[in-house]
Amino acid sequence: ASSLATYLAIKLIGNIGIGVASGIMIFTILVFGEIVPKSLAVANAEKISKIVAMPIEIISTGLFPLIKFFKAIINALYYFFGKKSVKEKKEITEEDLITLIDAGNDEGVIEEEEKEMIRNIFEFGDTMVKEVMIPRVDMACIPSDTKLGSILKLIKKMGHSRIPVYEETIDNIIGILYSKDLLGVYEQWYTSKEKFALKEIIRKAYFVPENKKIDELLDIFQKDRIQIAIAIDEYGGTAGLITMEDVVEEVVGEIIDEYDKEIKLFEMIGDNTIIADAIISIDKIN
């Protein structure tokens, strides 16, 4: 059709017919071949699908043997030249679903919060522990020789239910103190003359590489009923810690409890200028 239109235009108005024909055909194809049909189909999806479903099914069934025949020839040629056979393309890709989600959000069918949660699910399997963990410098840890009174003050101040315990350096985490475990021994040590022994009540720490995917870590958390893990770097040193809450927040967003202080991680100070805390990821700023 494009070639015929170009030929007729050249015959009628000379060499400038190429440009005229190209412009007319581009406009015609875009408007009447793309925009209008798709807009009508979206606006009347159910009605149109009922009309075209049967013809499409008949045509697809009739052409199926021919399609299989040509695929067999193509695969034979691939095999002949030492290539793998052509794989069936997935009908719906992750990108297609994200596009539909964005379209649903634009139309008001999907709320902004719902859209963000769905997109977070797609990104969940690609996120590593080091992108989510509490970094080493922000960890609340205690040495193994900490006095009972100091531990109680720290728990009251920070509100943490689980605290890593280290010996000599933070790179040598020897266990996790569960604050509820203090309840059973508090009176015994507080009233007796026995020396408080923190090592006797700490629980085993679980260590995880900082480059582990968080979807794999979530499986471990659920299977072993673990709530906290220590992230280690490539040299075996402590890189940070990650909790079940940190993992869940990657899907549902920030969870603020009674002990959390809401901190502004970034602030707009101009049309094109932002002051941001170094802890925030570029993705969240965007």
Nearest to 238 by CA among 216, 262, 210: 210
Segment holding 153, helix H or strand E: helix 148-158
Residues 195 and 270 in one domain: yes
Q: What is the pLDDT of residues 217-237, one digit of tens each?
A: 999 999 999 999 999 999 999
For the whole model, what pTM was predicted?
A: 0.59
Residue 219 sits in a domain of what CATH number?
3.10.580.10
Q: Among all chains, which residue has been given the structure tokens 């209008």?
A: 36
Counting Cβ atoms within 10 Å, is residue 176 exposed (0-12), middle (13-18) or buried (19+)? buried
The overall average pLDDT reported for the chain is: 81
Decide if 63 is inside a domain.
yes
pLDDT reading at 101 higher than 70: yes
pLDDT at residue 15, rounded to an integer: 64
pLDDT for the residue 86: 54
Which range of residues forms the domain containing residue 44? 2-76
Tokens 């582990």 map to which residue?
212
| 141/238 same-domain check | yes
Domain end point (choices 85, 104, 124): 124
**% pLDDT > 70, the chain:** 78
- Selection from 193, 181, 244, 237 nearest residue 214 by Cα: 244
60 assigned to some structural domain:
yes
Give residue 116's pLDDT: 85
- 266 contacts: CB under 8 Å, gap ≥ 6: 274, 275, 276, 277, 280, 285
pLDDT at 119 over 80: yes
Four-residue CA torsion sign, 9, 15, 16, 20: positive
- Are the CB atoms for 262 and 278 separated by under 8 Å? no
> Cα(244)–Cα(71) distance, rounded to whole angstroms?
48
Same-domain pairing of 173 and 269: yes
Q: Which residues pair with 142 in a beta bridge?
A: 165
What's the domain count of the chain? 3
Tell me, yes or no, whether 134 lies in a domain: yes
Whether the pLDDT of residue 19 is over 70: the answer is no
pLDDT of residue 262: 61
Separation between Cα atoms, residue 182 and residue 203, nearest integer Å: 12
pLDDT at 48 (0 to 100): 83
> Are residue 147 and residue 274 in the same domain, yes or no?
yes
Residue 213 in domain: yes
What is the pLDDT, as a whole number, of residue 79? 78
Question: In this structure, are 8 and 62 located in the same domain?
Answer: yes
Distance (Å, whole) CA 7 – CA 42: 36
Q: What is the mean pLDDT of residues 234-253?
A: 90
Is the domain of 158 the same as that of 280?
Answer: yes
pLDDT computed for residue 219 by the predictor: 93
